[in-house]
């Protein structure tokens, strides 16, 4: 009787069938490893979401305040109080004075009303020496409910609050899509919020300074005459020449 297992062709056929079955199993396994892609647009393996949108910097306005107590019978501000006012005005200038007014509240009707009025006069002089316009300052009285009511300073300033970082909701070792992870760009946003000198710049850009009208007229006059509009070098200007 003929036995197919003893045929010389049976060995290669059996090996071919085993190899085909192995390839089919591997293909099935690879198809099972495919992960579902996130909805939305993708480009070069990265999402089109800006980290500034995922981790925004919150900019809000908060009041900056300072109080100075003026004792009854005093002649006004002490040298130390004047130094505090000058420092407060420097902070007010750095906070972009165009976004807010400096409000000076002077007590009215208390035992130190006369001393407070003298101090208010000194404050007006300090404000003018600092170079602030009159429309940037607002002086208003308020009823003194107790003795030695202080003179209060306040203005609205912009404050930047960075995002909260350090959240890792997914395991990066098991994410095979090569997309931006959740914490990507968060530290940069938080550092920017901490380092920015004037948070108002994050809301709107600053306006340009006015042009120098005198210099502009001089340049145009030289241009009309066919002369070079460049500045001429004086006798003190020297140029190093290579030997």
Mean pLDDT confidence for 134-162: 85
Global confidence as pTM: 0.56
Asked if pLDDT for residue 25 goes beyond 70, the answer is: no
Burial of 199: CB neighbours in 10 Å, binned 0-12, 13-18, 19+: buried
Listed by start position, the domains of the chain span 46-55+163-202, 60-161
| Band of pLDDT at residue 69, cut at 50, 70 and 90 | confident
Q: pLDDT tens digits for 75-131?
A: 888 889 889 999 998 888 877 645 678 888 888 888 888 888 888 888 888 888 888
Asked if pLDDT for residue 54 goes beyond 70, the answer is: yes
Asked if pLDDT for residue 227 goes beyond 80, the answer is: yes
Checking phi first, is residue 73 left (phi over 0); if not, alpha (psi -120 to 50) or beta? left
CB 64 within 8 A of CB 159: no
Paired with 58 in beta bridges are: 161
The edge-to-edge listing of strands for the beta sheet with 151-161 is: 58-68, 151-161, 102-108, 137-143
Question: Which of 2-6, 99-103, 187-191 is modeled with the greatest confidence?
Answer: 187-191
Burial 96-120 (b: 16+ CB within 10 A, else e): bbeebbbbbbbbeebbbbebbeebb
60-161 in CATH: which number? 3.30.1330.60
CB 162 within 8 A of CB 194: yes
- Which is more confident, 220 or 37? 220
Question: Considering only CA atoms, which of 180, 79, 95, 87 is closest in space to residue 136?
Answer: 95
- Which is more confident, 55 or 19? 55
Asked if pLDDT for residue 67 goes beyond 60, the answer is: yes
> What secondary structure does DSSP assign to 174-185, as a single string?
G--S-PPPTTTT
Distances from the Cα of 152 to the Cαs of 83, 107, 137, in angstroms? 15, 9, 13
| Band of pLDDT at residue 22, cut at 50, 70 and 90 | low
CA distance 211 to 123: 32
Average pLDDT over the chain, rounded to an integer: 77
């Amino acid at each position: 009787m003929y036995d197919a297992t003893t045929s010389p062709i049976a060995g290669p056929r059996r090996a071919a069938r085993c190899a085909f079955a192995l390839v089919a199993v591997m293909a099935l396994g690879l198809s099972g490893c495919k992960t579902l892609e996130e909805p939305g647009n993708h480009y070069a393996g990265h999402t089109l979401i800006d980290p500034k949108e995922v981790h925004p910097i919150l900019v809000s306005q908060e009041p900056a305040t300072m109080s100075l107590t003026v004792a009854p019978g005093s002649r006004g501000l002490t040298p130390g109080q004047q130094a505090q006012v000058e420092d407060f005005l420097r902070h007010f200038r750095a906070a972009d004075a165009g976004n807010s007014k400096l409000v000076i509240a002077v007590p009215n009707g208390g035992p130190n009303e006369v001393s407070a009025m003298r101090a208010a006069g000194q404050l007006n002089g300090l404000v003018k020496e600092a170079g602030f316009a009159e429309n940037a300052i607002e002086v208003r009285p308020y009823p003194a409910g107790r003795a030695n009511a202080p003179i209060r300073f306040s203005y609205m300033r912009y404050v930047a609050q960075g995002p909260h970082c350090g959240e890792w909701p997914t395991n990066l070792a098991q994410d095979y899509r090569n997309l931006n992870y959740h914490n990507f760009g968060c530290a940069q946003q938080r550092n920017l919020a901490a380092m920015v000198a004037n948070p108002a710049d994050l809301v709107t850009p600053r306006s340009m300074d006015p042009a120098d009208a005198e210099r502009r007229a001089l340049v145009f006059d030289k241009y009309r005459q066919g002369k070079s509009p460049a500045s001429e070098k004086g006798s003190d200007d020297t140029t190093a020449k290579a030997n």
